[in-house]
Amino acid sequence: MDDTSLAILLLNLCLLCYAFGAAAGLLFSSHEKSANLFSFGCATLGSACGIIACVTVLATGTAKNQSFQLFTSLVPYLEFTVRLDPLGAFFGLIVSFLGLAISIYSFGYARGFYGRKNVGILGTFFNLLLLATTLVFFAGNAFFFLIAWEIMALTAYCLVSFEHEKAETRDAGVLFFVMSHIGTGCLIFGFLLLFQTSGGYGFDGFHALGNAMSPVKRDATFLLFLAGFGVKAGIVPLHIWLPAAHPVAPSNVSSLMSGVIIKTGIYGMTRVVFDFLGAPPNWWGVTLLAIGTISAVLGVLYALMEHDLKRLLAYHSIENIGIILMGLGASLMFLHSGHLLLASLALIAGLYHTINHAIFKALLFLGAGAILHSARTRNMEEMGGLAKRMRWTALFFLAGAVAISALPPLNGFVSEWLTYQSLLQGFGTTTSLVRLMFPISGAMLALTGALAAACFVKAFGITFLAQPRSAHAEHAHEASFTMLLGQGILTAACVFLGLFPTVFLKLFDPLTQQLTGQQISGQLSAANGLVLSNATTLGGSISMPGLTLLGLSLLAVPFVLWLLFATRAKIRRGPTWDCGLRGLTPQMEYTATGFSKPIRMIFKALFRPRREVQREYDFSSYFTTTMRFESHVEEIFQTRIYRPLNRLALRVSRRLRALQAGSIQAYLIYIFITLLLLLIFAL
Amino acid sequence: MNPASPEIGAQLITLMAALMLVMQLLLAVQPMLFTSVRLYAIQSFLLAGIAGVVAFFDNASHVYILATLTFIGKVIFLPWLLNRQLRRIQITQEVEPLLNAPATMMVCGGLTLLGYLVARPFTSLERLGNNTLAIAITLVLTGFFLMINRRKAISQVLALLTVENGVMLAAVALTTYGMPLVVEFGIFFDVLVAVMILGILAYRIRETFSSMDTSKLNQLKG
Amino acid sequence: MNIEPSNILLQTILLLLVAPLVSGCIRNWKAKLQNRRGARIWQPYSDLIKFFRKDMVIPEHASWVFSFAPYVVFLTALVAGLLVPLVTTRAPLSLFGDVLALVGLLALGRFFLALGGLDPGSSFGGMGSSREMTIAAVAEPAMMLAIFTVAITAGSTDLSHIIQAAQNPAWKALNPTHVMAFAALFIVLLAETGRIPVDNPATHLELTMIHEAMLLEYSGRYLALMEWGASIKQLVLMTLLVNIFFPVGIAAASTFAMLGIGVLIYAVKLLLLAAAVVVVETVNAKLRLFRVPDLLSAAFVLGTLALLSTFLFQ
């Protein structure tokens, strides 16, 4: 059996497992334990098969557009073509890998729903979501793609609304639903434009189609897809559903959504822009780079203002989507100017960040889930002291925090390093003033990174360190073994992708070959793969294993000093000194709100913070008896864009209500007129 | 003269022009009026320096006169005058400009970019022209912006002076290309007189409204 | 490139030994300028040894992060130091990391420093961490822009290449690009090493301290590691400044004579920069926290101007 047929077989197996898992969930919906075991067991198996299938495709570099019918269709035009190609396989790898870790985690996590919610339904939708997402990445024609896309959106909606008894959840679900369908609408129009030129629905026929389109139409297609996929990816200003929807879903689902589902937007953009639309004009790249930069900075700034742990993480997804888009945008600009090597470098930077973000964001959401599970709150102000109570979770969360803050030696740093390198080298590619965008975006990336670090010092510090701020946090307990295992797998992946990027970069070769016609993993690696270089002669290289080893061997310095001076020094645990104040209570600790206050004040033009303080006192305002403090941050997009739009829509609908005459004849006339118009249009 | 020196001259001029720009930016965010005056003096000193360098390397002895005049007038006399004014009206700080410091900085950065863009077509002006001209234009633009941004009459005068510095810089930079000395003198004395009048005016404003806030001038209309 | 263990060892020792001396010099000279006698310049060494000998008290609320942080802070600063060419044009480990890695390593150290400040649960530590991370966040873009500018003119992010390019006669030290990038980095240096006008290293007054607030609960050898790490970080940043912008006298070959001259000139440059820091610290007052962004935005604009000049001043 050759590699291709192996891959096809495994992919089929994977899809089959998901289907079984979904069925098992329904079947056992009255019996929680077996529902949990079977549905998540199937998901685990399926995703394991998926990983092997995708790695086979990527590693052998074969399967150029190998396609097969999933099952024969009875409807004309509708073909269930599954197509294996490197780009799809790369994203398939992401969903399968996360699927594996999250499924394992879910065994333990779903136990928390026993007796409260129907675990079978959770399992069913979870499997369906995995199935649909996998199919989105492997769909071989526009119809099938849209069907998979819709199933994905609908299952995601169901999962977001899983805890529908809370009003917050319902609102978030509806918002997600509406935004998602606006996006799908744009996609349908986009595909129609493509269809008009190609005359078919197959993705094979779409390849480099843009070169045959008129520029105006091509630009329109680009904008439609940008908006359509942008909604899913959560780019600013289409992001508002994301911080609402991701946090309210069960944590394993939030993890999958933030890790993978928003990446379908990135997949779509890459597929359409790099594969379908041909040689890009410069402004596409500039637009993507600008949107990316703005999303990154705004995402992290809003994240800093959050003290709901899961909302904070959701905002960070916006930030990271921005970073990914910076890579993709730079890559498009290089494609335009004909610098294929740099285009590949930037593309790799973007896609490498895609998988990295998927992994560490999933990890962090799983950690947040474990905390929610045991401390019963998402509010960071009620946590604290969890590092002693949940040792492993703390360790994993810390690894995720270091990775997402783009700190060496973990994976976030590597992909941001690649992004920096491509931005820096981009400066020399043109002489127009546009090149100023590269270093400015680079500086904004630095700002983003530093703010992200601040945000995760806050997230980790307030959540895990110091004293517990509530009774729930006081009595928190460590998560179950499977939950820890799921997080452990992702942590290991963070470490691996950080320490050995050159090994992993080999998998990008077929992908860049497909999209830019270059294979550059060889140029990116030096010194037997221990060093990651930036593919230029002058250099600039990093070696994470080298730095890590060096750091560890330098531990000898403190050790020797300890031997010399401190062997007799004793260690004693005592009360926190706190400048001599006594009786430190949890109430005296720095809060999450307090921690981010300097940043709130610096960027007050953006946040427009409001605060209300009410105090009661007996005889002097210095001796307050009770005090109420409230502080709000304005979400500028909601108040300045969406609310006016909403009002406008309502006003227009009120006008349009006149059309609803209620008489059947009137409706028939509408239909008739539409028909006539369409016929005239077809002339 | 050894062959490397014109090169050094060009470098020196660019450097000093760039420093003038830096002074301008510092001035843009400096709320303390005494420090602003000092910054202006340094900027003018740099201008005089540039004039001196131009004179030396291009053997244009008439520019020496300009350098000397700049030094006496703008590094010594005007700052002294302004300082005296400040002491008389006893106002030391600019309060609440329209934009805060980082925003001002960003605007100035944008204006700098614009200045460079405008000066780009003049690349043919060889070593003195292009970049120095860009800075000159920038000085004029940011000076204008500063006049809009500030409320106190004295800082508006300072802003006007920096505009004038910009004009002067352009004149010096292009001096070997035929800007007549008379014109430079004209500008110089114009501004000198303007400042003295403005200084008196500022004092009067202060006397009348017991404030130097020019936005109060709208109370004058009937 | 071969990795020569002897070079690594030498540079490590140099970093470890010189760092406290620079701190000592700055402290001593500052005292002199303020008409005090001041502690001897060797004082930091005695401090460190004393800290190492002392018993340690670990706050009861602290977790393992508290004990982990000093090692991270110390080691990241030290590893970052090995990426910078000190006296020769080749850093011993330039292949292991470029200037971006250096920034990343220092950021890692800062990350754990801030966590270490939060861990004991005192509000002073939290305040310090919050401020430190805020200031770092506003300083970072300025720093990156200045670094980008240098990297773009040198055509590489590799520090050894940058310094070799800086020694090339085509590199103009008087170029406004470099002057402005230097000014931007100098401001960033003041912010990153916690100097007046950003932070006051001498104060323990709760409302003004930033770096010290995070170290409040540390004692014994952890404190020693923290302090030492901070001074190594300061040395690394100062070295970056002097060696990139004043690339005079950096030994190109590792012959004995050249190395000797290299060390001498390096010391002179370093002391001059330290003197500059002392002067700035003495003539300025500490800025209010919310005024610090003004200063750093000035650095950012300087960085932007430097960048603009790279192609507009050609």
Interatomic CA distance for residues C226 and C232, integer angstroms: 10
CB contact under 8 A, B105 and C297: yes
- pLDDT tops 50 at residue A369: yes
Residue A680: the pLDDT is 86
In tens, the pLDDT along B35-80 reads: 888 899 999 999 899 888 888 877 777 778 878 888 888 888 888 8
**pLDDT tens figures, C128-155:** 999 999 999 999 999 999 998 888 888 8
pLDDT of B100 > 90? The answer is no
The average pLDDT across B11-39 equals: 84
Query: What is the average per-residue pLDDT within C197-210?
Result: 77
pLDDT in tens, A96-119: 999 999 999 999 999 988 888 889
Q: How high is the mean pLDDT of chain C?
A: 88
The reported pLDDT for the residue numbered A1 is 55
Please tell me which of A382-396, A596-610, B193-207, C251-265 the model is most confident about, judged by mean pLDDT: A382-396
Q: 567-606 in A: which are within 8 Å (CB) of C?
A: 569-579, 584, 586, 588-590, 594-599, 601-602
**Which chain B residue is nearest to residue C304, measuring alpha carbons?**
B109
pLDDT at residue number C1: 46
Q: Which of A193-207, A587-601, A669-683, C247-261 has the lowest mean pLDDT?
A: C247-261
Contacts of C184 in chain B (CB under 8 A): none
pLDDT(A360) > 80: yes
B103 Cβ under 8 Å from any chain A Cβ = yes
Contacts of C120 in chain A (CB under 8 A): 466, 576-578
pLDDT at C70: 96
* Contact criterion met (CB < 8 Å) for A598 and C107: no
Distance (Å) from the C-alpha of residue A305 to the closest C-alpha of chain C?
13
Whether chain C has a CB inside 8 Å of the CB on A529: the answer is no
Residues A652 and A175: their CA atoms lie apart, in Å, by 20
- Partners of A436 on chain B (C-beta within 8 Å) are 113
Q: What is the mean pLDDT of residues A239-244?
A: 90
A291–chain B nearest CA distance, Å: 20
Per the listing, tokens 């427009």 go with A608
CB atoms near residue A154 (< 10 Å): 17
pLDDT in tens, C66-118: 999 999 999 999 999 999 988 888 777 777 888 999 999 999 999 999 999 99
Contact partners, residue A149, CB within 8 Å, separation at least 6 = A132, A136, A184, A187, A264
Residue A681, classified by CB atoms within 10 Å of its CB into exposed (0-12), middle (13-18) or buried (19+), is: exposed
Q: A456 and chain C: CB distance < 8 Å anywhere?
A: yes
pLDDT band at B4 (very low <50, low <70, confident <90, very high): very low
* Distance of alpha carbon A205 from alpha carbon A212, whole angstroms: 12
Q: List pLDDT tens digits, range A467-508.
A: 898 988 888 889 999 999 999 999 999 999 999 998 898 889
What Cα–Cα distance (Å) separates residue C180 from each residue in A227, A416, B43, C298, C311? 41, 26, 16, 11, 14
b/e burial code for range B18-33 (CB count within 10 A of at least 16 → b) = bbbbbbbbbbbbbbeb
- C-alpha distance from B7 to closest chain C C-alpha (Å): 11
Residue A679 burial (10 A CB sphere; 0-12, 13-18, 19+) = exposed
Question: Out of A289-303, A615-629, B30-44, C212-226, which region has the weakest mean confidence (pLDDT)?
Answer: A615-629
Q: Are A533 and A438 contacting, i.e. CB atoms less than 8 angstroms apart?
A: no
Q: What is the pLDDT of residue A535?
A: 74
The string of pLDDT tens digits covering residues B104-125 is 888 888 888 888 777 776 655 5
Q: Does B106 touch chain A (CB under 8 A)?
A: no
pLDDT digits (tens, 9 = 90+) for A382-417: 888 899 999 999 999 999 999 999 999 899 999 999
- Convert the pLDDT of each residue in A41-62 to its tens digit: 999 999 999 999 999 888 887 5
Q: Do B117 and A605 touch (CB under 8 A)?
A: no
Structure tokens at B192: 């000198």
**Predicted pLDDT of residue B123:** 56
CA distance B123 to chain C (A): 10
Rounded mean pLDDT, B200-219: 66
Substitution target from C297, C307, C308, C311 for chain B, most B beta carbons within 10 A: C297
Over residues C23-33, mean pLDDT: 93
Q: Please, which chains are in contact with A (at least 3 CB pairs closer than 8 A)?
A: B, C
For C4-14, write each residue's pLDDT tens digit: 788 888 889 99
What is the Cα–Cα distance from A56 to A11, expressed in whole angstroms?
11
Confidence of residue B177 (pLDDT cuts 50, 70, 90): low
Bridge partners of A67?
A83
pLDDT of the residue at A390: 92
* Helices (H), ranges, chain B: 5-29, 33-57, 61-70, 78-89, 101-119, 126-149, 153-173, 181-209
B8 — pLDDT class (breaks 50, 70, 90): confident
B114 close contact with C: CB closer than 8 A: no
Q: What's the whole-number mean pLDDT along residues C231-247? A: 92
Q: How many Å lie between the alpha carbon of B160 and the closest alpha carbon of chain C?
A: 22
Q: Is C294–B22 a contact, with Cβ atoms under 8 angstroms apart?
A: no
Task: Say whether residue B117 is in contact with chain A using an 8 A CB cutoff.
Answer: yes
Q: Which residue has the higher pLDDT, A378 or B155?
A: A378
Question: pLDDT at residue B3 above 60?
Answer: no
> Quick check: C308 and B17 CB within 8 A?
no
Strands A525-526 and A531-533: antiparallel
pLDDT of residue A364: 96
Structure tokens that stand for B101 in this block: 């410091």
For position B2, what pLDDT does the model report?
A: 44
Burial of A474 (0-12, 13-18, 19+ CB in 10 A): middle
Average pLDDT over residues B15-41: 86
Q: How far is CA B62 from CA A88, B52, B75, B126, B195, in A?
A: 74, 10, 19, 21, 25
Beta-carbon separation of A433 and B103 below 8 A: no
Q: Which residues of A touch B113 (CB under 8 A)?
A: 436
Please give, rounded to a whole number of angstroms, the shortest distance from the CA of B119 to a CA of chain A. 13
Whether the CB of C152 is below 8 Å from some CB of chain B: the reply is no
Contact C301 B18 (CB under 8 A): no
Q: Is the pLDDT of residue C119 over 60?
A: yes
Q: Is the pLDDT of residue C236 over 90?
A: yes
